[in-house]
Amino acid sequence: MKLLVFGQTGQVARELARIAPDATFLGRERADLMDPAACGAAIAESDADAVINAAAWTAVDKAEAHEATASIVNGAAPAAMARAAADRGVPFLHLSTDYVFDGAGDRPFTPDHPTGPIGAYGRSKLAGEIGVRAAGGRHLILRTSWVFSAHGTNFVKTMLRLGAERDSLDVVGDQIGGPTPASSIANALLFLAGEMSVGAAGGTYHHAGAPDVSWADFARMIMTQAGLSCRIDDIPSSAYPAVARRPLNSRLDCRALLADFGIHRPDWREDMQHIMMELGQ
């Protein structure tokens, strides 16, 4: 299977490069998501059997002041990609997020639950989902949450840095979700691309790590596995100075992905052990 991937330096793209080194990866210099037409042209000119979009605007707080830009990167560009893939008759796989939901309640969101983003980032990602579906081609939208790895900027690496510097940290305790290893997302996307390239139906699915935890409890496990003595104190979201509101409930119901493709929720605690080793902890 010839695979074309948008993204090169992000967490999921880097994990895809590990397991699919023969794939073609398009970074910003070859496919700028601020130029949706160029992204579509890259697909039109390729001979790929499947296309994965692992690139996105992920700066949640900055999106509040730059929503128009985030909406091009997360909305217009994926839509253009999906149209080009549809024209070529190849499947298009697109990463999305729990931020398309409003975060209300305490039950996991199913793929067909009504969306209702509470911030600019979520609205931009929802625009991308709508555009991908409207393209009319074979597609698969994979929503995920709380992505972490040994690469880039993420919660695990931030906690390791701060935990080594401080005796205690205040961490939000009223936001609940499933931390998801980027490696697990990459493996799922590669498998799904293969399934779709031979005719499997797509749709919208969820893939998130288990068990669901608060950010504070996630931080405690990071400190424990890293052997750091930093104490984690729970605080409410209202006490954390963030520009953008975050969903309180980021739980995702992942049963459809298991039923249709046999993909289980990864135990993020096991993956974290491997990441600690990679980071030399």
Q: What pLDDT digit, counting tens, does each position of 77-93 carry?
A: 999 999 999 999 999 99
Establish whether 121 is a catalytic residue.
yes
- Number of H helices and E strands in the chain, helices first, is 11, 13
- Does residue 226 belong to any structural domain of this protein? no
Task: With H, G, I as helix, E, B as strand and everything else as coil, classify residue 140.
Answer: strand
CATH at 41: 3.40.50.720
In a domain, 262, yes or no: yes
Question: What pLDDT is stored for residue 142 in this prediction?
Answer: 98
Residue 37 near residue 86 (C-beta atoms within 8 A): no
Q: CA 19 to CA 221: how far, in whole Å?
A: 27
For the entire predicted model, the pTM comes to: 0.97
The whole-number average pLDDT for the span 39-58 is 97
Please check whether residue 238 lies inside any domain of the structure: no
Q: Does 222 reside within a domain?
A: no
Is 34 among the domain residues? Answer: yes
d(CA 275, CA 281): 9
CA 93 to chain centre: 12
Mean predicted confidence (pLDDT) in 118-135: 98
The domain containing residue 57 runs over which residues? 3-153+180-208+251-266
* 214 inside domain: no
Confidence at residue 184, expressed as pLDDT on a 0 to 100 scale: 98
Q: What is the pLDDT of residues 210-254, one digit of tens each?
A: 999 999 999 999 999 999 999 999 999 999 989 999 999 999 999
Catalytic residue, chosen from 99, 121, 205, 240, is 121
Beta-bridge partners for 181: 148
Nearest to 86 by CA among 124, 147, 139: 139
Domain count, the chain: 1
Split at pLDDT 50, 70, 90, the class of 281 is low
In a domain, 24, yes or no: yes
The answer to the question of residue 240 being in a domain is no
